[in-house]
A and B are shown apart, each in its own frame.
Chain A
């Protein structure tokens, strides 16, 4: 447990005990006041003096609730005991028994609840003992029955016992709860880290989510423009990928696609061969009615994040062809040199005037230029109405 935590806990404990003392003390003082105001209990002069002392007691309790200084404890206890001292004077009342009864809430209630804030240092325990002894002795004098175990004395005794016990017990409860909270907090931190890792894993499976999103979009349009069997196959493949992701795989399509070339990347486990994944992109578009012809090298090794970005951008370009070009065929040419891998996506569709079309509208800005930019790549777009479109994508090796 950190220091900060211990400090906070003792602060909470003090606040709880002091607020409880204030609340209970004021309630019991009001009950006492009601009792004293029954006609015939005390003579008017004594009533006035006692009333003023009770007001002082309430003020002390109010202050004690917000400012935990011992001075308010002492002032409160003194004014309460002063009420009892006045009450035991012989001329105050004819009705001794009645007066003792109405002062039980004061001696065994208001004064006793101060015990809750008087248990945790030696000085405070001494104050507690003195106040307890005074309350008990004074209520014995007030009752005037000479009966040591009379009703009033017994009740005040029980009041102090319960109150002191409550103080000790609550003082012990708070650190226990704090330890429990602390261990829950530790478990939660571990849970947060695990959930963060899990979310990162899911988010970084961007290629997977890209095809999932494409398939969901197709389904949202009730699969218009795609044959039912193709859509079923696509959904089945994506479900399998998602299952793989859920069960702990990376969720990248290359994990599942058969390695058509049979070659395994050996330079680094993070690198993956472009060719195998290109094949799965090609199959996907094939099912959705766009024949992708693929030229050039397929044996390019790329770091995982670059490959993801490259494929996402490529898929996005092909999706644009499928949606807007009005043709069923597209060509992808992959070339590479020492530093760069380049893909040229060409179609002979309707084309458009580059100046007329805002690049953001084609989704190029975020999905292509943005994604490539993250890994240090670029994209360039060439088109004019009637003569098709060419997009050149470049990423560093």
Chain B
């Protein structure tokens, strides 16, 4: 049989089984990030990486001045000088390779770099070993760990942290082996370990944090594209899925028509046909019923894990783009503001009351309730209230020590809209 694959279990995925979240690996944000970072460093970290390189250069210059000032104190200056030469050379070579190769650092290059840094540390220790005071005399070995800054945006943070851990262990071992610890020399040992480890660790932490921000902003921007969607939409994932199912069916039919698949079909192929039919039917029925808000929540990693929605009448679809943006933004701020807490939000739209208040002609009021857990009223980002005001008149209260907001959102009456369209058409 040819190239069609058996569809994965439950390809509506998220939609039929758990009405929940997509697999993170396939979420649009993750995909867009992968696409954007296919050139090596991910969005914006390329520039950050250049900055890390410059910071490393500043540290090297400081270290060189220190080395020059201590030049005469070495019993044998040669290994230390070699250490500095090697460190500078490696930083220049690696910097050039990275910029030529387009901001990427393949594992072999990282390995070579690590080995040369290890040699730098070893040479420097050899030079100062006879002085029996690592803390007071180490220079190139301290700055060697700053060399890792060059790799900080190009290699996984885990690798950098492990390397720094090894450097720390080597320093502790060397100090214990060479330096008889006394009150006088202890401060220097402490300072040298802090100087070798703290700045590169901070830089790595910064890059991780920066990536997290980029990921979250990207997620938000991608989700924001739903606000211009039609009242009912199939969503990015479902439409790809439908195309995939159509293609699988086409390939199956082709192999039947050409006689490659023998009739009657073997049980495996027959059950493939059955599952294709089931999924296709579900997609055709299900697809149109979901609103932009549902898609926004399921497609977003950030919202998907903390926001639930009940909108049985699909009222979210009636909101205008500006109102949609306001609703999305306020929900977004509620769940991301205190990122370390497990805040959850439940959004309920409707039901539209039987006797609508006739405030404006052709308008209907959609009640929106935003119930939260873990969101203290006084910790809410002030911008949230601005968005809620854009959405409509709102009242807020505290329920189980968490915020609850009720909004009366005015939207154009869909029935009137329909009549208006009909009138225009005639």
Q: Could you tell me which A residues sit within 8 Å of B by CB distance? A: 4, 7-9, 12, 16, 19-20, 23-24, 27-28, 31, 34-35, 38-41, 95, 98-99, 101-102, 104-105, 109, 149, 151, 154-155, 157-158, 161-162, 165-166, 169-170, 172-174, 176-178, 180-182, 184-185, 188-189, 191-193, 195-196, 198-200, 202-203, 206, 209, 212-213, 215-217, 219-224, 228, 231-233, 235-236, 238-239, 242-243, 245-246
8 closest A-B pairs (Cβ-Cβ)?
A177-B44, A199-B239, A236-B257, A185-B221, A220-B274, A158-B62, A239-B253, A169-B51
Contact across chains for B62 and A102 when beta carbons are under 8 A apart:
no
Contact (A24, B242) CB under 8 Å given A101-B188, A102-B187, A239-B257? no
Distance to closest chain A CB from B54 (angstroms):
7
Contact across chains for B228 and A236 when beta carbons are under 8 A apart:
no
- Judged by a CB distance under 8 angstroms, whether B343 is at the interface is no
Distance to closest chain B CB from A162 (angstroms):
5
Contact across chains for A162 and B191 when beta carbons are under 8 A apart:
no
Distance to closest chain B CB from A82 (angstroms):
20
Contact (A38, B183) CB under 8 Å given A19-B209, A192-B236, A232-B263? yes
Which chain B residues border A242 with CB–CB below 8 Å? 246-247, 249-250, 253
Contact (A16, B210) CB under 8 Å given A185-B221, A216-B277, A236-B253? yes
Which chain B residues border A196 with CB–CB below 8 Å? 229-230, 233-234, 239
Contact across chains for B253 and A202 when beta carbons are under 8 A apart:
no
Query: Contacts A176-B44, A231-B263 given; 16 further ones with Cβ under 8 A?
Result: A23-B202, A31-B190, A38-B183, A39-B183, A98-B183, A154-B62, A158-B62, A188-B32, A196-B239, A199-B287, A202-B242, A202-B243, A212-B246, A217-B273, A221-B270, A242-B249
A104 to B264 alpha-carbon distance, docked (Å):
83
Task: State which residues 208-241 of B face A: CB under 8 Å.
Answer: 209-210, 213-214, 217-218, 220-222, 224-226, 228-230, 233-234, 236, 238-240
- Judged by a CB distance under 8 angstroms, whether B94 is at the interface is no
A392 to B139 alpha-carbon distance, docked (Å):
95
A318 to B115 alpha-carbon distance, docked (Å):
76
A9 to B214 alpha-carbon distance, docked (Å):
10
Q: Could you tell me which B residues sit within 8 Å of A by CB distance? A: 28, 32, 36, 43-45, 47-48, 51, 54-55, 58-59, 62, 65-66, 69, 183-184, 186-188, 190-191, 194-195, 198-199, 202-203, 205-206, 209-210, 213-214, 217-218, 220-222, 224-226, 228-230, 233-234, 236, 238-240, 242-243, 246-247, 249-250, 252-254, 256-259, 263-265, 267, 269-271, 273-274, 276-277, 280-281, 283-284, 287-288, 325, 329, 383
A182 to B214 alpha-carbon distance, docked (Å):
11
Which chain A residues border B247 with CB–CB below 8 Å? 242, 246
Which chain B residues border A23 with CB–CB below 8 Å? 202, 205
Which listed residue, A8, A166, A217, touches B217 by the CB 8 Å rule?
Answer: A8
Contact (A216, B183) CB under 8 Å given A34-B190, A203-B287, A209-B284? no
Closest to A238 in B: B253
Which chain A residues border B205 with CB–CB below 8 Å? 20, 23
Contact across chains for B191 and A35 when beta carbons are under 8 A apart:
yes
A35 to B183 alpha-carbon distance, docked (Å):
11
Which chain B residues border A206 with CB–CB below 8 Å? 284
Closest to A214 in B: B277
| Complex A-B: 19 CB contacts under 8 Å | A16-B210, A31-B194, A38-B183, A98-B186, A109-B194, A155-B66, A157-B62, A158-B58, A161-B62, A181-B218, A185-B221, A189-B225, A213-B277, A216-B277, A220-B273, A236-B258, A239-B250, A242-B249, A246-B246
Which chain B residues border A104 with CB–CB below 8 Å? 191, 195
Closest to A8 in B: B217
A189 to B32 alpha-carbon distance, docked (Å):
12
A40, A101, A161, A243: most-surrounded residue (chain B CB, <10 A): A101
Which chain B residues border A181 with CB–CB below 8 Å? 43-44, 214, 217-218, 221
Closest to A168 in B: B51
Contact across chains for A20 and B44 when beta carbons are under 8 A apart:
no
Which chain A residues border B48 with CB–CB below 8 Å? 169-170, 173
Contact (A243, B250) CB under 8 Å given A20-B202, A158-B62, A220-B274? yes
A118 to B54 alpha-carbon distance, docked (Å):
20
Which chain B residues border A169 with CB–CB below 8 Å? 47-48, 51, 54-55
Which chain B residues border A99 with CB–CB below 8 Å? 187
Which chain A residues border B44 with CB–CB below 8 Å? 173-174, 176-178, 180-181
